[in-house]
Amino acid sequence: MMAARTGSAYPATGLPRPDAGLAGCRAARPTALASAFAREQSRAASDRGFLVTSSPRLSVVWDERFHDYDFGPEHPFSERSRELAVRLLETVVPPADPGPIEWLRSVPPAERASLERFHRPEYLAKVQAASRARETVLLDAGDTPGFPGCYEAAARIVAGADRGLGTTLEAGRPAFHPAGGLHHAHPDRASGFCIFNDVAVAVSRAVDEHRKVAYLDIDAHHGDGVMYGFYESGRVLDIDFHQDGRTLFPGTGFPTECGRRDGAGLKVNVPLPPGAGDGALRPLFHRIVPTLLRSFRPDVIVVQHGVDGHVGDTLARLQYTPAAYADVDRTVLGLARELTRGRLLVTGGGGYRADSVSRVLARAGTILAQVDAPDDAAALPARWREEYRAALGATAPRTWGEHPRPAPSPWRREDEEKLVGVLESTLGVRLPRPS
C-alpha cells in the first residue's frame, strides 16, 4: 500500500530520527528477544506443536461488498485485482463442502468498539462526516479522499481482518483476507490510500487478549501505521521489509528505528534500495525472520502481503518475482506450524499491477491451503484468463510465473552484511551467517 507521492520527509511522530544512534534499544531492552525466548522455554511441547485439523485447511474471507472501498476509476488503488486473485483461487481450488478452503463470504462492517481498539473517536467521527458529505473530503494530504459510504466500506475491510483473526485463533488454521492490509492509517488520520488500519485493529485485538503477535510486512512501502502504533509494545514483534524510505513514501522505516520502552528491540526495519530483488529479499528473510520469531515465540503471526515489490509495479521500484513470494509464503506457513499451532492471518496489501497481484495472492492461497501450488511454468486456466480480459480489457498473462525481466540489481553480498551488522548492533542479537 502506498501514496502517490514519494520522498523522505519524516512524519511528525515524535520518534527518533534514523541518525539518533543505536544505544536506546540496547540500553532500554538489551536482550528483549533473548529474554522473551527464555520466558517461553517452559511452555509444554504440545502447546508449541501444530494443531492438526481436518479439512478445511484454510479460511478465506471475501465479501463482494469489499468492492465498495473504491476511490474512483482514476485512483491507483482498486480491490478489482484482489477480486481477480479470489477468482483465480476459486478456479484452481473449486469451492466444495467439505474441501480444503472454507469461504467466509458475509462480512458486516466492524462495530465502533472494534475500530476504537486502534482509532481515536474523533477521527472516526471525521470519517463518518466524510462518508455522508456531498462533496469530496480529503482524509489526509491528498492521497486518500473520502467518498459516499467510505466509513462503512473501510469498516467492512476491518471486519474482514477481525473475522480472519478470530477464525485462526479459534480453529488453529490459517486465515486469508486478500482485501485487507491497509497498513498506513494511523490512530488519528488516514494515509496512503488507507482510511482505517485493518491489520492494526487485528493486532490490537490479539494484544488486548494478552497474546503475543509477530507482524511481518513485505509491502514495498513501510508499514508505518502498524510500526508506530505498537512502537512501545512488548507484545508485538514487527519485522518490515520495504523499499528505503529515502526513496519512497512514507519516508520511514530505518534500521535504527527499533522500538521504545517495552517495545525496544522488537521493531525490525529492513530497507532495500530501488532495484533490489530476490537476491536481497530471500537471503535476508531467511536470516532474520525464523531466528527472531523462534526467540519471540508468538501466539499468532499476522502478515501484510503487499505485492507492490513485484518487478514492474507502477508505484515502487523493487524487483521481486513470483518465486520469491512463494518462498516467503512457504517459510511463514512452516513457522506458523512450528510456533503458533497454525495460527496465522495473511492479508493483502499494496500492488498496482493486476497481473502480478492476482497471481501472487492466488498462489499464496494455494500454499496456505496446503494444496499443490502451481509452479512458475504452469499455464493459467483459460476461463480465468477470459474473466481477466473481460474485467480489465487487457490480455491476461499465460503462466503463473511470467514477469517483466528485472534490471540489473545494485544489491551485493557486502550490502547484505552491512545491513545485517547494523541490525545486530541495534537489536543486540546475532543472526545466522549466510548459508
Concatenated DSSP letters of 32-81: HHHHHHHHHTTS-HHHHS----PSP-EEEE--GGGGG----TTSS--THH
Q: Do residues 244 and 267 lie in contact, with contact meaning Cβ atoms separated by under 8 Å?
A: no
Q: Whole-angstrom Cα distance, residue 91 to residue 159?
A: 25
Q: How many helices (H) and strands (E) does the chain have?
A: 14, 8
Question: What is the CA angle 409-415-418, rounded to 5?
Answer: 165
The crossing angle, in degrees rounded to 10, of helices 354-368 and 80-92 is 40
pLDDT above 90 covers a percentage of the chain that reads: 85
* Placement of cell 521500484 in the chain: 317
Q: Do residues 346 and 376 lie in contact, with contact meaning Cβ atoms separated by under 8 Å?
A: no
- DSSP helix, strand, coil percent of the chain (3-state; round to 5): 40, 10, 50
Mean pLDDT of 129-148: 94
Q: Do residues 29 and 237 lie in contact, with contact meaning Cβ atoms separated by under 8 Å?
A: no
Q: What is the pLDDT of residues 298-356, one digit of tens each?
A: 999 999 999 999 999 999 999 999 999 999 999 999 999 999 999 999 999 999 999 99
Predicted local confidence at residue 28, as pLDDT: 54
Higher pLDDT, 280 or 55: 280
pLDDT at 413 over 70: yes
Q: What is the pLDDT of residues 238-265, one digit of tens each?
A: 999 999 999 999 999 999 999 999 999 9
Rounded to 5 degrees, φ, ψ at 318 are: -85, 175
Which one, of 266, 268, 249, lies nearest residue 192 by Cα? 249
Predicted local confidence at residue 160, as pLDDT: 98
Mean pLDDT of 84-106: 96
pLDDT at 32 over 80: no
Rg of the chain over CA atoms, in angstroms?
Answer: 20
* Ranges 9-23, 353-367, 413-427: which has the least confidence: 9-23
Q: What is the pLDDT of residues 235-244, one digit of tens each?
A: 999 999 999 9
State how far Cα 397 lies from the chain centre: 25
Q: Enumerate residues 6+ apart whose C-beta is below 8 A from 143.
A: 3, 4, 5, 191, 192, 193
Confidence of residue 54 (pLDDT cuts 50, 70, 90): low
Q: Which segments within 107-202 are labelled E, that is strand?
A: 175-177
pLDDT at 42 over 50: no
Distance set, CA 134 to CA 139, 143, 148, 295, 338 (Å): 15, 19, 8, 52, 52
Q: Do residues 176 and 226 lie in contact, with contact meaning Cβ atoms separated by under 8 Å?
A: no
- Flag whether the pTM goes above 0.75: yes
pLDDT above 70 covers a percentage of the chain that reads: 88
Q: Peptide bond before 434: cis, by omega within 30 degrees of 0? A: no
Mean pLDDT of 111-129: 98
Predicted local confidence at residue 142, as pLDDT: 87
Higher pLDDT, 308 or 13: 308
Q: Do residues 308 and 352 lie in contact, with contact meaning Cβ atoms separated by under 8 Å?
A: yes
pLDDT at 211 over 60: yes
Catalytic residue numbers read: 184
Q: Whole-angstrom Cα distance, residue 324 to residue 342?
A: 22
Domains contained in the chain, CATH given: 32-41+52-427 (3.40.800.20)
Confidence of residue 7 (pLDDT cuts 50, 70, 90): very low
Distance set, CA 218 to CA 89, 93, 182 (Å): 21, 25, 13
Q: Whole-angstrom Cα distance, residue 79 to residue 378?
A: 25
Which one, of 419, 196, 222, lies nearest residue 304 by Cα? 222
